[in-house]
Amino acid sequence: MDECIRSVLDQTCDNWQLVIADDASTCIDTHACLKKWQILMIQGSVLFSRG
């Protein structure tokens, strides 16, 4: 997942926004990865569903 997100962030176009929606994943690694990107992304946001 990190590689996919990094690929989007490395785009040369600067007029975009990345929105990632977690649909209540039960995978701890997925949640941790998305929390990390929620902090690091300037041109994006991560939304978490409570299930």
DSSP line for 6-22: HHHHT-S--S--EEEEE
- Structural domain that includes position 39: 2-8+15-48
24-46 pLDDT, tens digit per residue, is 889 999 999 999 999 888 888 88
Q: How confident is the model at residue 17, as a pLDDT?
A: 87
Q: How confident is the model at residue 44, as a pLDDT?
A: 86
Task: Give counts: helices (H), strands (E), the chain.
Answer: 2, 2
First-to-last alpha carbon distance for the chain, in angstroms, is 21
How many independent structural domains does the chain possess? 1
* Residue 45 to residues 21, 24, 36, Cα–Cα distance (Å): 9, 16, 11
